[in-house]
């Protein structure tokens, strides 16, 4: 039952302010952009046509309702039997879907630039998704049925869940009590052998008697925790790489606090990746390393290798890029947040210091898929009083990180907004002109077919930037699914599929004009299962001779500091 204390909490305006902050409010809210786009308009004849179509459909829907005919509801939000058992609820859901269709059509009919239309459509969709009758107890018959069946316990539990999330400042997507970093996620055995103010370097314990001579240095995205690559033993890419006979080093980025508020992109390159390369070379005794970057980690790795090449150094025996932007030609769903006014606004507040909070970053990404990442949990956790299930990937998704303001602003302007990184010599990083085409290393480039963060065509565009004089040195693999699920596809599960195209191999192909992404796909072959073995073969090809596995981590200059996964990854944002 509800207590007086509960009632006091839920009637407190500050609590509700906290709640609204938990709902996605992305950077540079596009709703404000609608007001700025006052010059946009819809032709009167288009409005009249849409109105007539809407009235006709609404009239038909009302006639069916009066005749006792239950409308067909194909939207999965209304799949529960309770929606179909109540004619009024079914009518409400159908009317909502009709209104949503009309609003979306109105947004499509706006005469504006493509980017303005994208912002308007995004803002309209946010409103449409938020106003679904499934999101409110008064209009959700499924939640009402649960309320009756539990004799009010679902409401009490739902309020408790909501108050707990208010305290955390975010919506729970997983049973967070089921996981602990270092206990049942991020458990691959290893040792922290180096740390500075920006990252810890983990050296993983070999699991084979011999290893490839050249180590693998993995650079995860600094916008997330590294353990997406090391969730649990059965879906850990790190563990898989170790089991394939690689000596694996991995950077664990520090979750920044105010002591790091002035760090820049140059710092992440120089004090981050370049420092990790030097330490890995020193410990392994190898000049050449297999380099790896995931998402923005791949962008930083590639920048670092170009900087080192400008200094006359070439430490990469190979380069692996997973769902990585080098050419920001198509920024996918995130493009709605990228224009001059929005980037300038961030620069005004963060370019000279400060932190881009993990909460803001998380809200931005959640807003790209609000029904899956927000409203689904509002309905389940709050309206029905259910506990979210234990899911390692969603636990990781809620364990966000922040970014130093200057670094974040540089990244936004020079890559997403101006797409300057791909232009040889246009950018200066760590005192050197950056030319990605100078990186002299065969590249394994991976994209995910349904990726809404890094569209696979943009990932494929890296093949034109790297090794332009030796295109057959690049290998592109396309995996099924999205940005994360496509990457974390263990070989042992034999799930999904991937595509390859070997038309780029051979002397004749080396002289041919490079394939476009569409041409590549037309000639690609689909394979069942995971792409991981393809990557393992690539690493083995460039890993050098087999040598005895290291007996202990580090060396005299870089002694063991603490067991993996280390302290840095356990620090939570905000």
Q: What is the pLDDT of residues 90-117, one digit of tens each?
A: 999 999 999 999 999 988 888 888 888 8
Residue 386 lies in a domain: no
Same domain, residue pair 157 and 195: no
Parent domain of 317 = 190-357+402-570
Q: DSSP letters along 296-333, please?
A: HHHHHHHHHHHHHHHTT---EEEEEEES--SS-S--GG
Residue 65 lies in a domain: yes
| Cα–Cα distance measured from residue 477 to residue 96, given in angstroms and rounded to the nearest whole number | 41
Number of domains in the chain: 2
Same domain, residue pair 340 and 298: yes
C-beta neighbour count of 524 within 10 angstroms: 18
Select from 169, 202, 223 the last residue of a domain.
169
In whole angstroms, how far apart are CA 244 and each of 247, 475, 491, 533, 548? 9, 20, 12, 9, 14
In whole angstroms, how far apart are CA 134 and each of 139, 160, 275, 366, 573? 7, 20, 51, 18, 31
3-state secondary structure of 563: strand
Rg for the chain (alpha carbons), in Å? Answer: 26
Residue 554 lies in a domain: yes
Same domain, residue pair 427 and 479: yes
What's the CATH number where 514 sits? 3.40.50.1820
Size (the chain), residues: 574
Select from 136, 169, 202 the last residue of a domain.
169
| Cα–Cα distance measured from residue 315 to residue 331, given in angstroms and rounded to the nearest whole number | 30
| Cα–Cα distance measured from residue 363 to residue 372, given in angstroms and rounded to the nearest whole number | 13
Residue 389 lies in a domain: no
Query: Are 230 and 218 contacting, i.e. CB atoms less than 8 angstroms apart?
Result: no
pLDDT for the residue numbered 492: 87
Q: At what angle do helices 44-66 and 87-109 cross, to 10 degrees?
A: 170
pLDDT for the residue numbered 512: 59
- Classify burial at 386, counting beta carbons within 10 Å of its beta carbon; exposed 0-12, middle 13-18, buried 19 or more: middle
Candidates 222, 295, 329, 409; catalytic one: 295
- The DSSP output letter for 546 is E
pLDDT for the residue numbered 263: 97
10-residue averages of pLDDT along the chain (574 residues): 42 44 43 46 86 92 91 93 93 94 90 86 92 95 96 95 88 92 97 98 98 98 96 96 98 96 98 98 98 98 98 98 97 91 94 90 86 93 94 91 96 97 98 97 97 96 95 95 94 91 57 82 96 97 96 96 98 82
CA dihedral 414, 416, 417, 419 (to 10 degrees): 60
Same domain, residue pair 161 and 195: no
Same domain, residue pair 127 and 227: no
Catalytic status, residue 295: yes
Contacts of 199 (CB under 8 A, 6+ apart): 251, 252, 253, 254, 272, 275, 276, 568
The pTM for the full model equals: 0.89
Query: Are 226 and 252 contacting, i.e. CB atoms less than 8 angstroms apart?
Result: yes
pLDDT for the residue numbered 385: 95
Q: Which two tokens stand for residue 292?
A: 């790896």
């Amino acid at each position: 039952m509800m207590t007086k204390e509960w009632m006091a909490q839920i009637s407190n305006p500050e609590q509700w302010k906290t709640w609204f902050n938990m709902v996605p409010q992305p950077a540079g809210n596009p709703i404000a952009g609608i007001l700025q786009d006052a010059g946009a308009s819809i032709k009167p004849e288009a409005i009249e046509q849409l109105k007539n179509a809407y009235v006709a459909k609404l009239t038909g829907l009302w006639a069916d309702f009066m005749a006792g005919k239950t409308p067909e509801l194909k939207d999965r939000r209304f799949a529960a039997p309770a929606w179909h058992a109540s004619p009024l609820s079914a009518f409400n859901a159908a009317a909502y879907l009709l209104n949503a269709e009309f609003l979306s059509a109105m947004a499509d009919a706006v005469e504006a630039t493509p980017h303005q239309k994208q912002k308007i459509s995004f803002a309209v969709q946010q409103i449409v998704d938020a106003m679904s009758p499934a999101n409110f107890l008064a209009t959700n018959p499924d939640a009402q049925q649960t309320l009756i069946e539990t004799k009010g316990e679902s409401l009490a539990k739902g309020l408790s869940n909501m108050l707990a999330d208010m305290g955390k400042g975010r919506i729970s997507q997983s049973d967070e009590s089921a996981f602990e970093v270092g206990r049942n996620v991020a458990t691959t055995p290893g040792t922290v052998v180096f740390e500075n103010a920006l990252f810890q370097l983990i050296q993983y314990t070999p699991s084979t008697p011999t290893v490839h001579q050249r180590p693998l240095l993995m650079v995860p995205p600094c916008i997330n925790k590294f353990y997406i690559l090391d969730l649990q033993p059965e879906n850990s890419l790190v563990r898989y790489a170790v089991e394939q006979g690689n000596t694996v080093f991995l950077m664990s980025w520090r979750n920044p606090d105010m002591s790091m508020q002035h760090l820049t992109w140059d710092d992440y390159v120089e004090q981050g990746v370049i420092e990790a390369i030097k330490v890995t070379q020193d410990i392994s005794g190898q000049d050449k390393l297999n380099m790896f970057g995931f998402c923005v980690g791949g962008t930083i790795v590639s920048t670092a290798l170009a900087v080192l090449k400008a200094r006359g150094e070439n430490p990469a025996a190979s380069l692996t890029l997973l769902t990585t932007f080098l050419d920001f030609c198509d920024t996918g769903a995130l493009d709605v947040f990228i224009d001059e006014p929005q980037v300038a606004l961030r620069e005004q507040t963060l370019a000279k210091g400060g932190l881009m909070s993990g909460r803001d970053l998380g809200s931005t990404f959640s807003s790209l898929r609000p029904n899956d990442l927000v409203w689904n949990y509002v309905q389940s956790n709050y309206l029905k009083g259910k506990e979210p299930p234990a899911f390692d990937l969603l636990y990781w998704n809620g364990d966000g990180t922040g970014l130093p303001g200057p670094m974040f602003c540089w990244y936004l302007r020079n890559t997403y907004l101006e797409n300057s990184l791909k232009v040889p010599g246009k950018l200066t990083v760590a005192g050197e002109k950056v030319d990605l085409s100078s990186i002299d290393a065969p590249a394994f480039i991976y994209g995910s077919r349904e990726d809404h963060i890094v569209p696979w065509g943009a990932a494929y565009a890296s093949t034109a930037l790297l090794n332009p004089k030796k295109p057959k040195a690049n290998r592109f693999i396309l995996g099924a699914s999205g940005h994360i699920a496509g990457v974390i596809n263990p070989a042992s599960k034999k799930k999904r599929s991937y595509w390859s195209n070997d038309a780029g191999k051979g002397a004749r192909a080396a002289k041919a004009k490079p394939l476009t992404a569409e041409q590549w796909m037309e000639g690609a072959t689909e394979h069942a299962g995971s792409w991981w073995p393809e990557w393992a073969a690539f690493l083995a090809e460039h890993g050098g001779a087999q040598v005895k596995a290291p007996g202990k981590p580090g060396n005299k200059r870089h002694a063991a500091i603490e067991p993996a996964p280390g302290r840095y990854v356990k620090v939570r944002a905000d």
